[in-house]
Amino acid sequence: MLISAAGAIGTDHHLTRVKIKLHLKSRKKLMKQRRVKYDITKFKDDIALESFQCDLCGTISDASDDTISIDEKYSLFVEHLKVNAEKHFKLDKNTNRKRKEWLTDKILQILDQKSLAFLNGQNHQNSIKLNDPAAAFSIIRRLRGASKQVENTPIKDKNGKLLLNSSNRLQRWHEYFDEPLNIPSIVDQKLIDEIQIDALSKEEKRQNAEPSIE
C-alpha cells in the first residue's frame, strides 16, 4: 500500500493505492481418454466374433441383478462392451508397421512369447512376498494397462460371478490385496534383539524432556 502526500492536493485526506492479487479457482483438468484402434479384418473373423459374443452374453446374463438401477446396468454394459471389444478386436501394433526384411512374423511371435514369459516371471505376488511393494505396484500397473477408475472396472468374485455394485468391486479389490499383503515377516526376531541401543546424549535428553515452566 502506497500513501501519497496530502499537502500537494490541499486536503487532509490521504490518497492510497492498493494492489490486490486474486487467486481464482483453477478449472479441473479433464483426463484424456485413450482411443483404441480396432482391426476391421477381425470383425469378419468367425472365431473372434463367436468369442466376443460369448463373453458379451455372459455379461448380459450376470447383469440381471435388481439391486442396481437401469443407468448403472447401462454403464456396466458399455464398459464391458469396450473391454471385450478391445480384447478381441484390438489392432495389433505390428500389423501395419513398416519393418525390416529380416523381421519376420515368426521372429515377432518368438519375441511376444519371450515378453510374456518375462512378465510371468515377474509375478506381482512374488514381489509382495519378497517385501518389494514398488516392483509389485509397477507390475500391476503394466498388466492392467492405462489408468482407469477402479470402481468402474468390471471384475468378478472368487466364484466367477460378475460384481455389479461399485462397493462390492472395491471390497473385492480390498480382499485381493489383503491376502497377498498379509504375509509373515521374514525378519528374524533374534536379529532385532541383538541391535544395541545407545544411551541418549545430554542434548537428546534435553530435547525429549517434557515442557515445564522452568
Tens of pLDDT, residue by residue over 106-137, are 777 787 777 766 665 555 555 555 555 666 66
Average pLDDT over residues 144-169: 68
The 3-class SS string of 65-125 reads CCCCCHHHHHHHHHHHHHHHHHHHHECCCCCCCCCCCCCCHHHHHHHHHHHHHHHHHCCHH
What integer pLDDT is reported at residue 131 of this predicted model? 57
% of the chain beyond a pLDDT of 70: 56
Greater confidence (97 vs 188) lies with 188
For residue 2, name the pLDDT band (cuts at 50, 70, 90). Answer: very low
177/175 Cα distance (integer angstroms)? 6
Where do the domains of the chain lie?
99-145
What integer pLDDT is reported at residue 1 of this predicted model? 46
Backbone angles phi, psi at 3, to 5 degrees: -115, 125
Global pTM value:
0.34
Query: Is residue 82 scored above 60 in pLDDT?
Result: yes
Do residues 130 and 136 make contact, with C-beta atoms less than 8 angstroms apart?
no
| pLDDT per residue as tens digits for the range 27-42 | 666 666 667 777 777 8
